[in-house]
Chain A
Amino acid sequence: MNSIEKSPIPATTPRVIVREAAAPRPRWQVWLIRPEVVTLLLLVIAAIVATRLSPFFADLGFILESSTYYIEFAIVALVLTIVIISGEIDLSPAAQMALSACLFGTAFKAGAPIPVAIGVSLLSGLAMGAFNGFFVTVLRLPSIIVTIGTLILYRGLAQVLAGDKSISGFPSWFVGIDYRMVGIVPIPVLIFIAASILLGLFLGITIYGRQIYQIGTSEIAAIHAGIRVRRIKMGLFIASGLVSSIAGLMVASRLGSVRYDLATGGELTMVLIVMLGGTYIFGGRGSILGTFLAAWLLVIIATGMTVANIAINAQLTIMGLLLIVSIIATNAIYARSQR
């Protein structure tokens, strides 16, 4: 029973008391300074600026086409959003993408038909997620450092599997998912939109969704309320592994080959999308809608920079800066508004 004592006292305890004493803000104000609204505003501004920089940008088809590079990360970021709302974090999805893609490639090279290789890859995603979840929920280690460990481990195993060679030669029906269109919308974008709707509904209207917010707000209270905290967290890590392997397969299809360094640095992009979308890094607050908007914000910023001929290396600087500014902003907004 002393598991209750285990959790640290939230540093914000005194502030909560002050909050209860304060008069509630007018509803319009609460709505206006929601982080999602800020993300939407930024999105509009970024689109206008980008259109000024280059006339290409007014072309929706161009934006959709150039989005496919970021969409894989954005799909994982949807699940990462839920993980962060539950008060945990997963820094290993990019490495999971690489390892599951390399397993797919290795299985294919060993003569397995593509569907079997895809099955192997998806299973490995489940296993990697469960491995993370085991350390976090059973051994009760902090997810932040566990997933740093598994990030190195998974990437290292991918390196062991694939060496420094790339595996290619996949059949043509498998390659080029980003060139398959429905109208002007590439298939990966459709997958992203569908996943956003599904996960948005899951988080917004199901009991599990409410419970996840509850866990992130106060794990102790959630345990008292009879929420199966560990089971839900385990489920989230497994979901993160599964979606990572799907994203890994999408990269494999887009590039037509896999390498151990696939999606290197992807953890930054994913965390950036989630933070830009206004999800609170300490858990309990955030939304799929925010992440959805933030993904498009990132696509526009990134392609805008590319169109404006800003070198990829300089883009790194801007991405890092964006991440820091967005968490400062989200923090400030949540400190001001109560809900």
Chain B
Amino acid sequence: MSQVSRLFRAREAGILVMLVLFVAFVSLIQPRFFSTETLRIVLLAVPLILVAAMGQMMVLVARHVDLSIGSILGFSAIAAGMVFRDHPELPLFVGFAVGVLSGAALGFVNGLVVTVFKLPSIIVTLGTLSLYRGLLFILSGSKQIDPNDIPEPLIRMAQTSPIDIPWIVIIAFGVAFATWLFLNYSQIGRQIYAIGSNPVAAPLRGIRVMPVTILVFTLSGALAGLAGLIYAARFGYVNPGITGVGFEFTVIAAVVIGGVSINGGVGSVLGTVLGVLLLGSVQVALPILGVSGFWQNAIYGGIILIALVIDRTVRQGGLLARGGA
């Protein structure tokens, strides 16, 4: 296979082409889309999805899925928000620790149930999706965290930083970089791919599937928790009934567009970042194109299905090809 065709076949290249085509298409219709201001809005829209997408991507690579991240995001945001509200004297990092650790704990429970009882993660996390949402209602007493309870420095993180890029953007891309290092240069990272490619063979190669899988779910929960803080920073409030509802679908859409195979073992950080950027651009472009916001979910759903079909075609070299996988 020549270098050129290999490059063309790379999933990342395909997503990049889609991204460029999309931006070009929107800019043609509405030239003011192509501006640094739009780039700024897109960059502000992505951190929330990007951070959680890193976790979801690892879960998918390990051949699982985590439907509970929306509720984990809400739970962590509420937990951190309550710390901010009730103890304004504490430094900011305490709130961050509360958010990330509570997310990690909930993710740990997911991983534990999935691995100990050998159950499909999709059903387990469908259950914890409701379980955690209920818990967060109980924890918060159904009360919203108001804008004046969110500390000023946290809000500023969504607006400024020394180099004119908001802090949350820097954090999100930092998380992506760390995930890339982890998946490609650590032993556990490679083991996650091995588990996802062949769960039966992985233990035979000396991989301890259970702890690694639990770790993956814990990381996914922790990152959803971090996303909760980004939510609080960006929107300035946390509502138990709204925050994070349906978020899992947005993230799964982004990750699947990013070329992460739902059959496990395949997926890259670069692809996921591009997928998130594409989804972020769609989000920002819709109102600019004059398309009603009501279309957003339908478009996400359509994109997931198209990405699935593309994934299928790439893997097996033909839409109706038999065999493979």
| Partner-B contacts on A (CB < 8 A) | 2-3, 5-6, 8-9, 11, 89, 91, 135, 138-142, 144-146, 148-157, 159-160, 163-164, 265, 267-268, 271-272, 275, 281-282, 311, 313-321, 323-324, 327-328, 331
Question: Which residues of chain A have C-beta atoms less than 8 A from B301's C-beta?
Answer: 149-156
With A6-B323, A9-B200 given, is the CB distance from A149 to B123 under 8 Å? no
When the two chains form the complex, which single residue of A146, A149, A159, A328 contacts B119, counting CB atoms closer than 8 Å? A328
B253: nearest residue on chain A (CB-CB)?
A152
Is B289 part of the binding interface, using a Cβ–Cβ cutoff of 8 Å? no
Contact at A324–B128, with CB atoms within 8 Å? yes
Give bound CA distance, A5 to B309, whole Å.
21
Closest-CB distance, B134 to chain A (whole angstroms): 3
With A152-B301, A268-B129, A327-B124 given, is the CB distance from A142 to B262 under 8 Å? yes
- Which 4 A-B pairs give the minimum distances between C-beta atoms? A153-B301, A317-B134, A156-B298, A320-B131
20 examples of A-B residue contacts, CB within 8 angstroms: A3-B322, A5-B323, A6-B322, A89-B122, A135-B305, A135-B309, A139-B312, A148-B304, A151-B249, A153-B298, A153-B300, A153-B302, A153-B305, A156-B296, A156-B297, A159-B294, A313-B134, A320-B127, A320-B128, A331-B117
When the two chains form the complex, which single residue of B142, B308, B324 contacts A313, counting CB atoms closer than 8 Å? B142
With A139-B319, A150-B305 given, is the CB distance from A316 to B134 under 8 Å? yes
Contact at B304–A163, with CB atoms within 8 Å? no
Contact at B304–A317, with CB atoms within 8 Å? no
Q: How many A-B residue pairs have CB under 8 A?
A: 158
Question: Which residues of chain B have C-beta atoms less than 8 A from A3's C-beta?
Answer: 322-323
Contact at B297–A152, with CB atoms within 8 Å? yes
Question: Which residues of chain A have C-beta atoms less than 8 A from B20's C-beta?
Answer: none
Q: A281-B119, A320-B134 are in contact. List 13 more A-B contacts (CB 8 A).
A: A11-B199, A139-B309, A144-B65, A152-B300, A156-B300, A268-B130, A314-B138, A316-B131, A316-B134, A320-B130, A327-B119, A327-B123, A331-B119
Residue from A6, A9, A156, A267 whose CB has the most chain B CB atoms within 10 Å: A156
Is B22 part of the binding interface, using a Cβ–Cβ cutoff of 8 Å? no
Provide the B130-171 mask, 1 if CB < 8 A to any CB of A, else 0: 111111011000100000000000000000000000000000
Is B93 part of the binding interface, using a Cβ–Cβ cutoff of 8 Å? no
Determine the main DSSP class of A at the interface with B: helix
Is B242 part of the binding interface, using a Cβ–Cβ cutoff of 8 Å? no
When the two chains form the complex, which single residue of B123, B135, B240, B249 contacts A271, counting CB atoms closer than 8 Å? B123
Question: Which residues of chain A have C-beta atoms less than 8 A from B253's C-beta?
Answer: 152
Contact at A156–B295, with CB atoms within 8 Å? yes
Contact at A275–B200, with CB atoms within 8 Å? no
Contact at B123–A275, with CB atoms within 8 Å? yes
Question: Which residues of chain A have C-beta atoms less than 8 A from B294's C-beta?
Answer: 156, 159-160, 163-164
Question: Which residues of chain A have C-beta atoms less than 8 A from B287's C-beta?
Answer: none
Contact at A152–B249, with CB atoms within 8 Å? yes
B249: nearest residue on chain A (CB-CB)?
A152
Contact at A315–B123, with CB atoms within 8 Å? no
Give bound CA distance, A338 to B137, whole Å.
41
Contact at B309–A152, with CB atoms within 8 Å? no
Give bound CA distance, A142 to B240, whole Å.
33
A323: nearest residue on chain B (CB-CB)?
B127
Is B314 part of the binding interface, using a Cβ–Cβ cutoff of 8 Å? no
Give bound CA distance, A189 to B253, whole Å.
38
A5: nearest residue on chain B (CB-CB)?
B323
Kindly identify, within residues 89 to 117 of chain B, every residue whose CB is under 8 Å from any CB belonging to chain A.
113, 117
Question: Which residues of chain A have C-beta atoms less than 8 A from B300's C-beta?
Answer: 152-153, 156
B120: nearest residue on chain A (CB-CB)?
A281
A275: nearest residue on chain B (CB-CB)?
B123
With A2-B322, A317-B138 given, is the CB distance from A268 to B308 under 8 Å? no
Question: Which residues of chain A have C-beta atoms less than 8 A from B142's C-beta?
Answer: 311, 313
With A152-B304, A319-B130, A320-B130 given, is the CB distance from A311 to B296 under 8 Å? no
Contact at A321–B262, with CB atoms within 8 Å? no
Question: Which residues of chain A have C-beta atoms less than 8 A from B118's C-beta?
Answer: 331
A315: nearest residue on chain B (CB-CB)?
B134
Closest-CB distance, A274 to chain B (whole angstroms): 10
Give bound CA distance, A318 to B128, whole Å.
10
With A160-B298, A281-B120, A331-B119 given, is the CB distance from A2 to B126 under 8 Å? no
A155: nearest residue on chain B (CB-CB)?
B297
Kindly identify, within residues 214 to 260 of chain B, every residue whose CB is under 8 Å from any CB belonging to chain A.
240, 249, 252-253, 256
With A3-B323, A146-B305, A317-B138 given, is the CB distance from A267 to B126 under 8 Å? yes
